Amino acid sequence: MMFLNPWQGALERMQALVQRLCAPSCGGRAAGTREGQEARALLIDALEGAGIEPAGPVGYLQPVPGCGGANVLAQVRGSGPYQDRLVLVCAHYDHLGWHTPGQEAFWGADDNAAALAITLELGRVLRAMPAGLGRTVLLCFFDGEEPPFFLTKGMGSEHFASRPTVPLSSIDLMICLDLVGHAVGPERLPAALRQSLFVLGAEKSEGTAALVDGLAEAVPGVRPVRLGIDLLPPLSDYHPFQKRGVPFLFLTCGRWRHYHQVTDTPDRLDYNKMLAIARWLEVLVRQVAQRPEPAVAFLPHGRDDQATLESLWTCLSLLVPWFARGRELLRRVEVLRHAARGRLLTAEELEQTALLVGEVEALLA
């Protein structure tokens, strides 16, 4: 008997989609422009091609008047007693538009074409193998995430959260992908670091951290690294959901030197890592979709300082041989890591931890 590998061809499809989303016809995908519309048409085409059903108020679309664009919504239905409960997976599809009109655009390969390709492949695989999917998986491609709409009414995710097409209380986890196409740090760094996928916000819902930790080695080629969400300012589409008490996760490979630059191009992505992330996401989504409790509880004051410091410590110990500055940072992390054993950090220690996260990000950029 032959077993079909549902991920067959995914790498090539992701490469092709990223190329198309970063072509001049989509030049920078700014919300409310012809190029944004073109990107939307590509996404809808891909969803239709994969047989993933629409979930918007108008076919696949939820218009977002505040940015002159629209969210693209699709779903794979679950079955069983919790089929009306949801796992939401999202990625914004807009970007910063042209740099020099007609010539150079902010192509946005890592931000956020890579996440779109990953989300589409996830949808394709779930659609092909829906057995065991206890909850429905809602795929949201949000418009208007980038400036000038970020955190305004024109932000697609804010619009969705304020006029949801499903009750927000039915969402057991929203998973937000942003900047998930690149290897972390320069090429000379060890694979264990380059394969990092930062996972933020697990501490804000019941049982999610344990679930993520259980998947630490679920898929070769990607290494999930947990960090607390409170250490960073609002960075992406998870924020409108977090502020309304929806359990969430933010997945990212972090800001790098090509972030919001014209050099964020398809040739700089790590497609093998993207495939690993997509496969890891499938495992995660299936596990959340099968959770036995009727609803996942949001923990507004949830914190896991220890997990954050363990992650920082692991990253820095790998970095020490490569960066002179690594040793000093590692020493600072060790002091905080010791303090975090057995108690929560003080406000001042938290501030120091946030500074260290920033320094590690800068070192890896």
Please report, as ranges, the residues that interact with Zn ion according to CB under 5 A.
111-112, 178
Contacting residues for 288 by C-beta, under 8 A, at least 6 apart: 87, 135, 172, 173, 211, 296
Q: Name the 3-class secondary structure at 68.
A: coil
Pick between residue 177 and residue 309 the one whose CB is nearest to Zn ion: 177
CB of 235 to Zn ion, least distance (A): 8
CB of 178 to Zn ion, least distance (A): 4
φ, ψ at 248 (rounded to 5°)? -150, 165
Closest to Zn ion by CB, 111 or 304: 111
Q: How far is the CB of 362 from Zn ion (least distance, A)?
A: 18
Cβ nearer to Zn ion, comparing 252 with 353? 252
CB nearer to Zn ion: give 158 or 304: 158
CA distance 61 to 48: 13
Output the CA torsion 67→72→78→83 (10° steps).
30
**At its nearest, how many Å lie between Zn ion and the CB of residue 364?**
17
- Measured CA to CA, the distance from residue 88 to residue 188 in angstroms comes to 36
**CB of 267 vs Zn ion, minimal distance in Å:** 19
| Cβ proximity to Zn ion, 146 vs 172, nearer residue | 146
CB of 143 to Zn ion, least distance (A): 12
Taking each continuous run of H as one helix and of E as one strand, the counts in the chain are 11, 11
Residue with tokens 């495939």: 275
Q: Least distance (Å) from Zn ion to the CB of residue 129?
A: 29
Nearer to Zn ion among residue 112 and residue 195 (C-beta)? 112
Provide the 10 A C-beta neighbour count for residue 253: 28
Pairing assessment for the beta strands 248-252 and 171-177 based on DSSP bridges: parallel
**Which residues, 6 or more positions from 211, have their beta carbon under 8 angstroms from its beta carbon?**
202, 284, 287, 288, 291
3-state SS string over 163-182? Answer: CCCCCHHHEEEEEEECCCCC
Query: Of 33 and 112, which has the nearer Cβ to Zn ion?
Result: 112
**Residue 8, helix vs strand vs coil:** coil
